[in-house]
Structure formats: C-alpha cells, structure tokens
Structure 1
Amino acid sequence: MQFGFSTNAFREYQLEDAIEAIADAGYDGVELLLDEPHLYPPTATDADHERVADALERHGIAVSNGNAFMLTAIEDFHHPSYIEPDADYRRKRIDYTLAALETAADLGLPYISIEPGGPIPEAKSREWAIDTFVDSLQEVVPKAREVGVDLLVEPEPDLLIETGDEFLALLERVDADCVKCNFDAGHFYCVGADPVDLIDPLWEHTEHYHLEDIPADRTHEHTQLGDGAMDIDAFLGALADRGYEGFVTVELYPYEETPVETAREAMAYLEERGWA
C-alpha cells in the first residue's frame, strides 16, 4: 500500500510548501485540502491548478485524495452541510461540491472525500435528514459521473452517517456507482467498532483510507500514530492481507502548530513498524 499525509495539518503554510514538506518526509502522496487557505474550488483559477500540478511534479509526489469535507472558507468543518434546514445555505455546500468535482477533474484526481450529511439539525428527524442528504447527493451525482470523479462519503462521529451499517444503508437509497466510502479508521473506532471488522463489508465500496490514532476513551481526537489506543498494526495488516495497493492517508489536522514534525514522526512510526 501507499501512504499519504493530509495538508489540512498545514493550514498555516502555503500549499506548495506543504507539498514539499510531505514529499521530503517520505510520503508517496499528499491529500489536497480543497478549502482555504490551500485550494478553494469556487475561486481557484486555471493558474492555481497549474501551480499545484507543477509542485506535485517537481517534488515527485502523487495526490492521495482531494479533501472536500472541510468548508472553513464559508463557516467551519461541518457547516454549511448537505442537510441544512435553510435551502439557500444548503445550496452553498452543494455548489461547493460541484466546484470541487471540477477542480479534481482538472487535476486528474479519481475521487474526493465529502462529509456524511452533517450534524442533524435540532427539531429535525433522522428520517428528514437522510431524505435531505439523499436529495443533495442526487444533485451532485450527475456532475461526478460527467467528470469521472467519485464521491467518497466519510462516516464521522456525531454526524448523520457514523457507522458502516449506516453507510451501507445510504448506498441502498442513493444507488449510484460513483458514491463510495472514505474509510476513516479512527472515526469507526470512535463509534465503538473495530476498524478491522469493517474492511471486508466495506471493501468493494472503499477507494481510500484515512488513518490516525484515537485515545483509549474513543474521544474523537485525531492523535499521532502510536500515541493512542488503536491497533494500527492489525488494521494495516488486514489491508495488506487483502492486497490493498491504494492510499492510506494520515490525517492529523489538530497538529497545525507542528505539521512538519508531525508528518515526519508519523512516517517514522510507519517505517519502524515495517509498513513504509
């Protein structure tokens, strides 16, 4: 398998500098944050795309994923979501995703990761939220098909889709081959699952994996590899046994004060354990 590191830990850095630092740390790939301050699709120009492509080529590194989950350019990580009660506000997330698909296609990316609906609004039912998320996805699926970029829904604690079963139930409603899973091992661990147990049932739907460690109390806190309680060796071993050759991206966005050191320490952990 190949390892990437996400630039969402490098929000205090220019994107080109983040790409260089991640390549220098020994990673095969870099996850591009499709948000400010890096590459925000609604305002990114062709020149911006060329600048990123040049940096990737110059440093000999691939793109592991296009991260279209966070949306701090408008509000925060989770808002606007696909299930906002205000239709105009919800439209901002939909339009952003359409732009992200265009950017990904321009850069030759096969997929982008997106949020799993969002937080269920107060006074709204889960049924309403699922219906609204499905409707929102149906608005972006045609563009995904047109440009050949898959939409990887990323289950996350405290959002609409948290578990493997909920993701599979969503697929039954959406019924679109371009909607797949961004499998975040730590997120599944936070909601009480063993990520190893979910590899097989989600295998055919998963194109990319996120990895971080998580504290023993399963708090949703992205933690440096080896500093939490997850059995990372078991997880990576299960992927290896399955013959996985794609990307596992280390996502440690809380470490934005020390991203270079954090990326290098995570790679040192992977190398010491024989994975990289």
Structure 2
Amino acid sequence: MQFGFSTNAFREYQLEDAIEAVADAGYDGVEILLDEPHLYPPDCSREEIERVADVLERHDIAVSNGNAFMLTAIEDFHHPSYIEVDEGYRQKRIDYTLAALETAADLGLPYISIEPGGPIPEGKSREWAMDTFVDSLERVVPRAEELGVDLLVEPEPDLLIETADELLALLERVDSERVRCNFDAGHFYCVGEDPAELVDPLWEHTSHYHLEDIPADRSHEHTRLGDGAMEIDAFLGELETRGYDGFVTVELYPYEETPVETARAAMDYLEERGWA
C-alpha cells in the first residue's frame, strides 16, 4: 500500500510549500484540500491547475485524494451541507461539488471525498435528511459519470452517515457506481466500530482510506499515530492481507501549528512498524 498526508494540516502554508513538505517527509502521495487556502475549485484557474501539476511532478509525488469535504471558503467544515433546509444554501454545496469534480478531472484524479450529508437539521427527521442527501447526490452524479470521477462519501461522527451500515444503505439507494466510500478508520472507531473488521464488508465499495489515531474515550479528535488507542497495526494488516496497493492518507488537520513535524512523525511511526 501507499501512504499520503493531507494538506488540511497545512492551512497556514501555501499549497506548493505543503506539497514540498509532504514529499520531503517521504510520502508517496499528498491529499490536496479542495478549499481555501489551497485549491478552491470555484475560483481555480487553468494556470493554477498547471502550476500545481508542475509542483507535483517536480517533487515526484502523486495525489492520494482530492478532499472536497471541508468548505471553509463559504462557512465551515460542515456547512453548507447537502441537507440544508434552505434550498439555495444547499445548492452552494452542490455547485461546489460540481466544481470540485471539474478540478479533479483537470488534475487527473480518479475520485474526491465528500461530506456524508451533513448534520441533520433541527426539527427534521432522519428520513427527510436521507431523501434530501440522495436528491443532492443525484444532482452531481451525472457530471461525475461524464468525467469519470468517483464521489467518495466519508462517514463521520454526528453527521447523517456515521456507520458502515448507514453507508451501505445509502449506496443501495443511489443508482451509480460512481458513489463509493472514503473509509476513515478513526471515524468508524469513534462510533464504536472496529476499523479492521469493516475492511471486508466495505472492501468492494472503498477507493481510499484515511488514517489517524483516536483517544481511548473515542472522542472525535484526530490524534498523532501512536498517541491514541486505535489498533492501527490490525487495520493496516487487514489491508495488507488483501493486497491493497492504493492510498492510505494520514489526516491530522488539528496540527496546523506543527504540520511539518507532524507529517514526519507519522511517517516515522509507519516506518518503525514496517508499513512504509
């Protein structure tokens, strides 16, 4: 398998500098944050795409994933979502996703990761939220199919889709092979599931994996590898057993004050344990 590191830990850095730092730390790939301050699709020019491609080539590093989850350019990590009550506000997330698909295609990426619906609005039922999310996805799926770029739904604690079963139920409702899974090991651990045990049931639906450690109380706090309570070796062992040769991206966005050191420490951890 190959390892990447997400630039969402480098939000105090220019994208070019973040890519260089991740490459220097020894990673095979870099996850690009498709949001400000890095590569925000609605404002992305052809020249900017070409500049990023040149930087990637110069540092001989691939893109492990296009992260189209966060949307701080408009509000925050979770809003606007695919399930906003206000249709105009919801459309902003849909339009952003369409733009992210275009940017991904321009960079030659096979997929982007997206929000799992969003927080269920106060006063709305889960059924309403699921119906609304499916409707939102159906508005972006046709373009994803035209471009050949997958939409990887990333289950997350406290959002509409949290668990493996909820994800599988969603995939049954969306009639497109372009809608798949971004498997975040820490997120599943937070909601009481065992990431290692989920590799098999989600295998055929997963294109990319996120990795971080999580505290023993299972609070949603992305923690440096080895500093939490997750059985990381067991999870990576399941991927190795299956011959997984795609990307596992380390995602440690809370460490924006020390991203270079954090990226290097994560690679040291992976190397010391024989994974990288």
Shorter-chain TM band: over 0.9
Deviations along 1:184-206, whole A, 9 cap, x unmatched? Answer: 00000000000011100000000
**Offset of 1:256 from its aligned partner?**
0.1
**Separation of aligned partners in 1, 2:171 and 2:269:** 35
State the secondary structure of the residue aligned to 2:43.
Answer: coil
**Separation of aligned partners in 1, 2:185 and 2:26:** 22
Which residue number in structure 2 is paired with residue 12 of structure 1? 12
**Separation of aligned partners in 2, 1:265 and 1:216:** 20
Which residue number in structure 2 is paired with residue 248 of structure 1? 248
**Separation of aligned partners in 1, 2:36 and 2:146:** 26
In the TM superposition, 1:20-169 aligns within 5 A as 20-169=20-169
Give the aligned CA root-mean-square deviation in angstroms: 0.3
**Separation of aligned partners in 2, 1:201 and 1:221:** 25
State the secondary structure of the residue aligned to 1:35.
Answer: coil
Which residue number in structure 2 is paired with residue 237 of structure 1? 237
State the secondary structure of the residue aligned to 2:216.
Answer: coil
Deviations along 1:130-176, whole A, 9 cap, x unmatched? Answer: 00000000000000001110000000000000000000000111121
**Offset of 1:19 from its aligned partner?**
0.2
**Separation of aligned partners in 2, 1:217 and 1:230:** 11
State the secondary structure of the residue aligned to 2:208.
Answer: strand
Partner AA of 2:233 in structure 1: D
**Separation of aligned partners in 1, 2:135 and 2:205:** 20
Deviations along 1:47-94, whole A, 9 cap, x unmatched? Answer: 010010000000000000000000000000000000000000000000
**Separation of aligned partners in 1, 2:144 and 2:229:** 37
Deviations along 1:108-134, whole A, 9 cap, x unmatched? Answer: 000000000000000000000000000
In the TM superposition, 1:217-236 aligns within 5 A as 217-236=217-236
Partner AA of 1:186 in structure 2: G
**Separation of aligned partners in 1, 2:190 and 2:175:** 27
**Separation of aligned partners in 2, 1:126 and 1:272:** 44
**Separation of aligned partners in 1, 2:159 and 2:179:** 18
**Offset of 1:179 from its aligned partner?**
0.2
**Separation of aligned partners in 1, 2:46 and 2:143:** 19
**Separation of aligned partners in 1, 2:10 and 2:50:** 20
State the secondary structure of the residue aligned to 1:42.
Answer: helix
**Separation of aligned partners in 1, 2:175 and 2:181:** 13
Partner AA of 1:260 in structure 2: V
**Offset of 1:264 from its aligned partner?**
0.1
**Offset of 1:213 from its aligned partner?**
0.1
Partner AA of 2:177 in structure 1: D
**Offset of 1:267 from its aligned partner?**
0.1
State the secondary structure of the residue aligned to 2:41.
Answer: coil
**Separation of aligned partners in 1, 2:94 and 2:121:** 17
Query: Following TM superposition, where does structure 1 have runs of at least 4 consecutive aligned residues deviating by more than 3 angstroms?
Result: none
| Runs of at least 5 residues in structure 1 that lack an aligned partner in the other structure | none
Aligned-residue sequence identity (percent) comes to 85
TM-score, normalised via structure 2 length: 1.00
**Offset of 1:21 from its aligned partner?**
0.2
Matched pairs, number:
276
1:271 aligns with 2:271: yes
